[in-house]
Chains A and B, each alone.
Chain A
Amino acid sequence: MSQFTTEQLTQRWEDQRALKNLMGKYANCIILNREQDIFDLFWSREADVTLIFNDGAYVGVEAVSGYYQACYERNKLVARLMQERFPEELGGKSEEEIYGVGPFKVKPLSSPVIEVAADGKTAKGLWYCQGAYNDVETCGPVANWTWGYFAVDFVRAEDGWKIWHMSYTNDVDTICGQSWGKEPKPLPELPEFAALGEFRYPEYTVKQTFRAIYTPTRPHTDAPRIPEPYTTFADTFSYGI
């Protein structure tokens, strides 16, 4: 810290606070089923924006924004199926009125390690996420523990910090009320929610396993690399591909 001036230190503190705020808002948008707003609010327009999940990645503006749009479409489908299942409670309401019915996807973010580049142009952050993911699947409403990591590269744009590369990968994805150390017991499928089995997210740009979900036979698996102090992005690693 001794190499930074008073003003630089102040800017760097404000930067890390802004990055925490950004990720907090991102998590709130997920809770509120506002996925359709996420790309415009939080993502960079860099050509190589990247969103990585356990089993694949979206690369590029069209692919990443397309994923969030698909979430929005799925939310609409879920709400419609819930309306059909519960005509007494939800019948007669418009698509807009019922939008958001069903899911409640909590992704709390803890244990942040944030490094802002000395040149102030980029930053890196790693969070642990102990998620409780309530959604509607072909078995109907169901909650899963989703425990994993948000590992993010940020880039400073004219209107503030933006997400450049985001890796959101889980260790645990287990039905709440069951042990992740035992054989999963899927809930029985229900015909009224069968249409969700037909729903498809867009194909990944890169289809590969980035992180294997925990099983009792999984080899020990490190967390994503911890951000390290760096001067400029070329000097450090990327959370992209």
Chain B
Amino acid sequence: MSKKVKRTYTDDELIRRVTDIEEIKKLANKRVYYIINEWREQELSDLWVSDPAYQATASFGRNTGYYVGMDAIRGYYVTKHAADLGDGVGTMNVHPISTGLVELAGDGKTAKGLWYSIGQDTTPNGDGTAKALWNTGKVAIDFVKEGDDWKIWHIVEANDCTAEAGSEYSEQPVYIDYATDPVAVEFGTPTIPMITHDATFNWWDNYPTPPVPYDTWSDEISYGPEGYPEKVEYHFGAGEGGNY
């Protein structure tokens, strides 16, 4: 883990860091409207990394694993989704974000951010009605600066609750059936299938972990699969003082 190093900054350096953080928040917020607009292909080209080295390690995670590399991400996030979407009539996917916690690396080259989304996904049933689902969960993002612009490198959208609008959440089964869970079904079969966040135990697994101050990038702090903390996997691996 990269140690917290307290750097000192000149006024000019500090206001540029402050501006960077605001630009990073703006980038994450823009993505909200790209999702509403169903601009997924544009999202990948406008908001995500373009450097081939970063594209190779870019990842998109959900509760059931990670797609790794832009080709795999595109296959799920754009191609599969477009097939599911059809003509878009009656579809409305809205994932507003809030509670931003952004840590800019001391060296200013990367950043990590965590948000929470109380969103909804509505899809037509084909009979004049639609299935409207509340979806809540964390959205964790790693950013990297390419030239003057901040870009998305890794994303984890960790679902906590899915509830049909107008129905009682408490009447749904307690346990998650990944074969029928709409979020898991939509995610398909990722590059690395694994349970990253088991919402059965609320936030016990603490994944994705809130970012902490850091000086320079290392893969072990990544929101990509390379940064998945082993100790959250299951309690047998917790070690002394673990799980508390």
Contacts and interface: CB of A to CB of B under 8 A. Distances in A.
B96 A1 contact: no
B185 interface: no
A12 B15 CA distance: 10
A88 B73 CA distance: 63
Contacts of B38: 220
Q: How large is the interface on B (under 10, 10 to 19, 20 to 34, 35 or more residues)?
A: 35 or more
A111 B132 contact: no
A219 B89 contact: yes
B32 interface: yes
A216 B129 contact: yes
A16 B164 CA distance: 37
B124 interface: yes
B89 A222 contact: no
Q: Which of the listed residues B96, B128, B164 has the most CB atoms from chain A within 10 Å of its own CB? A: B96
A51 to B, nearest CB: 21
B210 interface: no
Interface string A209-223: 000001111111111
B37 A223 contact: yes
Interface string B3-47: 000000001100110111011001001101100111000000000
A130 B118 contact: yes
Contact of A178 (B23, B29, B165): B165
A6 B166 contact: no
B37 A222 contact: yes
Contacts of A222: 36-37
Contact of B165 (A9, A12, A181, A218): A181
Given A13-B22, A114-B26, A216-B129, A181 B122 contact: yes
A177 B125 CA distance: 20
Nearest to A128: B96
A187 interface: no
Interface of B: 11-12, 15-16, 18-20, 22-23, 26, 29-30, 32-33, 36-38, 87-92, 94, 96-98, 118, 120, 122, 124-125, 128-132, 148, 164-167
Contacts of B132: 179-182
Contact of B89 (A111, A113, A217): A217
A126 B26 CA distance: 11
B130 A113 contact: no
Nearest to B164: A179
A226 interface: yes
Contacts of B22: 13, 16
15 contacts: A1-B20, A6-B12, A9-B15, A13-B18, A128-B96, A171-B94, A179-B130, A180-B132, A181-B131, A182-B129, A182-B130, A216-B129, A217-B89, A220-B38, A226-B30
Contact of B15 (A2, A13, A214): A13
Q: Which of the listed residues B18, B98, B167 has the most CB atoms from chain A within 10 Å of its own CB? A: B98
Interface of A: 1-2, 6, 9-10, 12-13, 16, 110-114, 126, 128, 130, 147, 171, 174, 177-183, 214-223, 226
Given A147-B120, A178-B165, 8 more contacts: A1-B20, A9-B16, A13-B18, A112-B26, A171-B92, A179-B130, A180-B122, A219-B88
Given A183-B129, A223-B37, A226-B30, A218 B89 contact: yes
A220 B38 CA distance: 9
A1 B125 CA distance: 47
A179 B168 CA distance: 11
Contacts of B120: 147
A217 B124 CA distance: 8
Nearest to A147: B94
B96 A110 contact: yes
A226 B164 CA distance: 29
A216 B97 contact: no
Contact of A216 (B30, B94, B124, B164): B124
B12 to A, nearest CB: 4
Given A6-B12, A113-B26, A219-B89, A181 B130 contact: yes
A6 B13 CA distance: 9
